[in-house]
Chain A
Amino acid sequence: MATLELKNLHAEVVEADEKILDGVDLQVNSGEIHALMGPNGSGKSTTAKVIAGHPAYEVTEGEVILTLDDEEYGEEIPEDKLSWNLLDLEPNERAALGVFLGFQYPAEIEGVTMVNFLRQALNAKLDEREELFEDEDEEEAEADEEDAGYDTSPMEGPADEGEVDVAEFQQILSEKMELLDMDEKFAQRYLNAGFSGGEKKQNEVLQAAILEPSIAVLDEIDSGLDIDRLQDVSNGINALRDEQGTGILQITHYQRILDYVEPDHVHVMLDGEIAMSGGAELAEKLEDKGYDWVREEVYEAA
């Protein structure tokens, strides 16, 4: 169980000096599904990227707080390491703490097979977690150890202590792929290279299934999907919540995906703020009435 809180978050584009987020407040608990909706340019994707630590954005005000439970995955977390301001951390450290960003346009990395990438990512996450939760004293001892250099040849290639080895990982990967109804041949393909739009989205969900985040922000994961693929992806997202207890922040334009992934909460974003929040019925209302209705409603109230 973890909680992600956005508090009065203001952000702008570093190079353009252009303000995008204008005080976002939002709270997502693991196990919940939130839909973040809104017209183009309202700041939805920026919110996702700022949470994950994209270097193109500068946070000018506010906080992003991740609060962890004292026990996760059978791992005991020291009391003083339960609460983190993500803005102080590198993107990979945020990932290690259990925050996942599903990309609208995932990068294509040639020459790196899915299986190698995913195993390295999982091991990197486990490593980084250990480091983040470590006492200062232990850290020093560890640093000394690292200075001693490599003991074994990389050609011998046994997994380091605590790492998931190749055979073990194959097992995990096969299970998750089956769950998502993905073809096993995916494992040997290069990361996203030459993937169709649908395959890329499915791959994003697969990665979330393997990295087991406590909070997953999925940026327009429904765009460009045909109806069959939309169902597959939706089943995957539901499984993330139901089987891993992941909290989902689902960014979308359309009601469509919400027919399959039923949200507990729906938020409407306008001009860099959350203009309105409600339950699943709010999404239906938006489907009928559009975003202008929200704008009118909010302005009238003001």
Chain B
Amino acid sequence: MSSEQDQLKETNTEERFAFKKEESAAVRSDKGLTEEVVRLISEDKDEPEWMLDRRLRALEHWQNMPMPTDWPGQPDLTELDVEEIVPYIRPDVDKREGADSWDDLPEDIQDTFEKLGIPEAERKALSGVGAQYESEVVYQNMQEQWEEKGVVFCNMDEAVREHEDLVKEHFMTSCVPPSDNKFAALHGAVWSGGSFVYVPEDVTVEMPVQAYFRMNSEGMGQFEHTLIIAEKGSEVHYIEGCSAPKYGSHNLHSGGVEVFVGEDAHVQYSTVQNWSKNTFNLNTKRAIVEKGGRMEWVSGSMGSKATMLYPCTILKGRGASANNITIAFAGEGQNIDTGAKVYHNAPHTKSTIESKSISKDGGRTNYRGLVHISEGAEHSSTSVECDALMFDNESTSDTMPYMEIDESKVDVAHEATVGKIGDEDVFYLQSRGLDDDDAKQMIVSGFIEPITEELPIEYAVELNRLIELEMEGSLG
């Protein structure tokens, strides 16, 4: 990093401190998820009236909807104390200041990044400490490089101000309405921060656009909203790194992602997420794909106490397609419930779902998927493949692939394999000189290779290293 950038960082940090001190006192006085709190957030962000209205309507949905409790094999959410959510969104001054210093991060989080061997600048981005700054740099570079072509990449809060019409049209309207589920409603009420990406017609953004989220200080990372609009014939790859764990009393992450894939457009959304072991990670991610468009979801879910995440794609136009690749890792006391949803609502639509899960030390992974092929969506095809790898007899893995097929002229394939890490495989590698841990690590790396090959090298390395650390049990 150049000294100029360092200087910029200094200034930036100071400004942020000043700003935060000012706003936090006002918010801190409120407790519980109430209309007053929602109004405060909106006021704090100086939002237009329509956004406040949407927040309040979402709040109503949140208050009227029951918690999901009776899905087969569903993660237990009883320990999630919703009354604690609001203080988390607006933490007190001390906490917010504290987390801006690397030294004040929980030791185990520091330790993780040490062990990952990630350089300090990057660590700060990954841990969220410097993410605000880092993100702004990314945004700025993006703007410089692409603004001539009309590409927009900015903070979601800023998008509400600067690109109001686009946001007003797309934000939690047709894609993820707050009425969708309990946590989409919560998200709609208290969302904060996130990314906004707009790619105009026929523009290809060659390099991936990347964003990191800070999780340890402000609430924004915990309820971030990502809105991606790719117009006809455009192409973009968006990558989100949420490697930041969060420790403490408040432990809910409920993000929202909405993607609009225009005619013949192509969007890839990739994410590698690692949460602390006491986080409830409950997200809603959805894409609507027009005629001939293509949506690709690539996600690695690590950490958390419970994750419920099923990226959804609605194939709305003829010939639209979706690819899903997910990987989940569950260790002791963790339940990772993830998969994919695809709605084939037009003819000649195509989807593939590839799900890989690893469980050890009594961890539990579920594949939960839904493929719906509507009547009239003839000549559509779908292929679902779930592979589960288990380390021991205490771990569990379930596959729940729901298929709703209302059209006969379709091609549907489902394949599931469940296996334990084979003793013979481990012995083979050991006989070649690898020790027991390295042998298992190699088998797991190979197992997740279809995902890592889709990611830029630094994310692939990070994912591999995270899994390696999980396997050593040293992430705790």
What is the interface of chain A, defined by CB distance below 8 A to chain B? 52-56, 90-92, 94-96, 100-101, 103, 106-107, 109-112, 117, 120-122, 124-125, 128, 149-155, 190-191, 207, 211
Cross-chain contact B442 with A152 (CB below 8 angstroms): no
Q: For the complex, give the distance between the alpha carbons of A149 and B433 in Å.
A: 23
Residues from chain B with a CB closer than 8 A to the CB of A100 are 431
Known: A90-B435, A120-B438. A111 touches B428 (CB 8 A): no
Cross-chain contact B430 with A110 (CB below 8 angstroms): no
Cross-chain contact A106 with B428 (CB below 8 angstroms): yes
Q: For the complex, give the distance between the alpha carbons of A112 and B441 in Å.
A: 11
Q: For the complex, give the distance between the alpha carbons of A95 and B438 in Å.
A: 14
Cross-chain contact A153 with B118 (CB below 8 angstroms): yes
Known: A150-B117, A153-B117, A154-B117. A111 touches B433 (CB 8 A): no
Closest 10 CB pairs of A and B: A111-B446, A111-B449, A150-B117, A125-B433, A107-B428, A91-B430, A112-B446, A95-B433, A121-B432, A124-B433
Q: For the complex, give the distance between the alpha carbons of A190 and B442 in Å.
A: 12
Tell me the smallest distance from the CB of B343 to a CB of chain A, in Å.
Answer: 31
Cross-chain contact B458 with A155 (CB below 8 angstroms): yes
Cross-chain contact A55 with B433 (CB below 8 angstroms): no
Residues from chain A with a CB closer than 8 A to the CB of B461 are 154-155
B422 on interface, CB distance cutoff 8 Å: yes
Cross-chain contact A91 with B431 (CB below 8 angstroms): yes
Known: A109-B442, A150-B115, A155-B457. A95 touches B447 (CB 8 A): no
Q: For the complex, give the distance between the alpha carbons of A109 and B440 in Å.
A: 11
Q: For the complex, give the distance between the alpha carbons of A106 and B422 in Å.
A: 12
Name the contact of B432 in the complex, choosing from A149, A154, A207 (C-beta under 8 A): A207
Cross-chain contact B442 with A103 (CB below 8 angstroms): no
Known: A124-B435, A155-B457. A117 touches B115 (CB 8 A): no
Instruction: Scan B405-439; emit 1 where CB is below 8 A from any A CB, else 0.
Output: 00000000000000000111101111111111011
Cross-chain contact A95 with B449 (CB below 8 angstroms): no
B73 on interface, CB distance cutoff 8 Å: no
Name the contact of B427 in the complex, choosing from A55, A109, A120 (C-beta under 8 A): A55
Residues from chain B with a CB closer than 8 A to the CB of A112 are 442-443, 445-446, 449
Known: A149-B114, A154-B465, A155-B461. A92 touches B433 (CB 8 A): yes
Tell me the smallest distance from the CB of B430 to a CB of chain A, in Å.
Answer: 4
B119 on interface, CB distance cutoff 8 Å: yes
Cross-chain contact B457 with A124 (CB below 8 angstroms): no
Q: For the complex, give the distance between the alpha carbons of A152 and B114 in Å.
A: 10
Q: For the complex, give the distance between the alpha carbons of A122 and B433 in Å.
A: 7
Cross-chain contact B446 with A121 (CB below 8 angstroms): no
Q: For the complex, give the distance between the alpha carbons of A1 and B446 in Å.
A: 36
Cross-chain contact A117 with B442 (CB below 8 angstroms): yes
Cross-chain contact B115 with A149 (CB below 8 angstroms): yes
Q: For the complex, give the distance between the alpha carbons of A101 and B369 in Å.
A: 43
Tell me the smallest distance from the CB of B451 to a CB of chain A, in Å.
Answer: 10
Q: For the complex, give the distance between the alpha carbons of A122 and B434 in Å.
A: 9
Q: For the complex, give the distance between the alpha carbons of A245 and B433 in Å.
A: 20
Known: A152-B117, A153-B117. A211 touches B442 (CB 8 A): no
Known: A107-B424, A149-B115. A211 touches B465 (CB 8 A): no
Residues from chain B with a CB closer than 8 A to the CB of A190 are 446
Cross-chain contact B446 with A109 (CB below 8 angstroms): yes
What is the interface of chain B, defined by CB distance below 8 A to chain A? 114-119, 122, 422-425, 427-436, 438-439, 442-443, 445-450, 457-458, 461, 465
Known: A92-B430, A107-B428, A155-B458. A124 touches B438 (CB 8 A): yes
Residues from chain A with a CB closer than 8 A to the CB of B425 are 107, 109
Cross-chain contact B427 with A111 (CB below 8 angstroms): no
Tell me the smallest distance from the CB of A46 to a CB of chain B, in Å.
Answer: 14
Tell me the smallest distance from the CB of A202 to a CB of chain B, in Å.
Answer: 16
20 A/B residue pairs, CB under 8 Å, sorted by A: A53-B430, A53-B431, A90-B430, A95-B433, A107-B424, A107-B428, A109-B428, A111-B448, A120-B442, A124-B432, A124-B433, A149-B115, A150-B114, A150-B117, A151-B117, A153-B118, A154-B465, A155-B457, A155-B458, A191-B446
Q: How many A-B residue pairs have CB under 8 A?
A: 105
Q: For the complex, give the distance between the alpha carbons of A109 and B118 in Å.
A: 29
Known contacts A117-B442, A125-B433; 16 further A-B pairs (Cβ under 8 A): A53-B430, A91-B427, A91-B430, A95-B431, A106-B428, A107-B429, A109-B429, A110-B449, A111-B446, A112-B442, A112-B446, A121-B432, A152-B117, A153-B117, A153-B118, A207-B432
Residues from chain B with a CB closer than 8 A to the CB of A52 are 427, 431
Known: A112-B445, A154-B465, A155-B458. A95 touches B117 (CB 8 A): no
Tell me the smallest distance from the CB of A110 to a CB of chain B, in Å.
Answer: 5
Tell me the smallest distance from the CB of B151 to a CB of chain A, in Å.
Answer: 27
Residues from chain B with a CB closer than 8 A to the CB of A55 are 423, 427
Tell me the smallest distance from the CB of A235 to a CB of chain B, in Å.
Answer: 22
Residues from chain B with a CB closer than 8 A to the CB of A96 are 433
Tell me the smallest distance from the CB of A200 to a CB of chain B, in Å.
Answer: 11
Residues from chain B with a CB closer than 8 A to the CB of A122 are 433
Tell me the smallest distance from the CB of A103 to a CB of chain B, in Å.
Answer: 6
Residues from chain B with a CB closer than 8 A to the CB of A94 are 431
Tell me the smallest distance from the CB of B254 to a CB of chain A, in Å.
Answer: 31
Cross-chain contact B428 with A95 (CB below 8 angstroms): no
Residues from chain A with a CB closer than 8 A to the CB of B428 are 103, 106-107, 109
Cross-chain contact A211 with B432 (CB below 8 angstroms): yes
Tell me the smallest distance from the CB of B272 to a CB of chain A, in Å.
Answer: 14
Known: A90-B436, A95-B432. A54 touches B427 (CB 8 A): yes
Residues from chain A with a CB closer than 8 A to the CB of B445 are 111-112
Tell me the smallest distance from the CB of B149 to a CB of chain A, in Å.
Answer: 30
Cross-chain contact B431 with A101 (CB below 8 angstroms): yes
Residues from chain A with a CB closer than 8 A to the CB of B436 are 90, 92
Known: A92-B435, A124-B433. A111 touches B115 (CB 8 A): no
Residues from chain B with a CB closer than 8 A to the CB of A91 are 427, 430-431
Residues from chain A with a CB closer than 8 A to the CB of B448 are 111
Q: For the complex, give the distance between the alpha carbons of A155 and B424 in Å.
A: 31
Tell me the smallest distance from the CB of A213 to a CB of chain B, in Å.
Answer: 10
Q: For the complex, give the distance between the alpha carbons of A109 and B389 in Å.
A: 13
Cross-chain contact A107 with B435 (CB below 8 angstroms): no
Q: For the complex, give the distance between the alpha carbons of A275 and B85 in Å.
A: 77
Output the nearest chain B residue to A126 by Cβ-Cβ distance.
B433
Tell me the smallest distance from the CB of A94 to a CB of chain B, in Å.
Answer: 8
Residues from chain B with a CB closer than 8 A to the CB of A109 are 425, 428-429, 442-443, 446
Residues from chain A with a CB closer than 8 A to the CB of B438 are 120, 124
Residues from chain A with a CB closer than 8 A to the CB of B432 are 92, 95, 117, 121, 124-125, 207, 211
Tell me the smallest distance from the CB of A115 to a CB of chain B, in Å.
Answer: 13
Residues from chain A with a CB closer than 8 A to the CB of B442 are 109, 112, 117, 120
Output the nearest chain B residue to A128 by Cβ-Cβ distance.
B433
Tell me the smallest distance from the CB of A90 to a CB of chain B, in Å.
Answer: 7
Q: For the complex, give the distance between the alpha carbons of A153 and B458 in Å.
A: 10
Q: For the complex, give the distance between the alpha carbons of A47 and B119 in Å.
A: 49
Residues from chain B with a CB closer than 8 A to the CB of A54 are 427
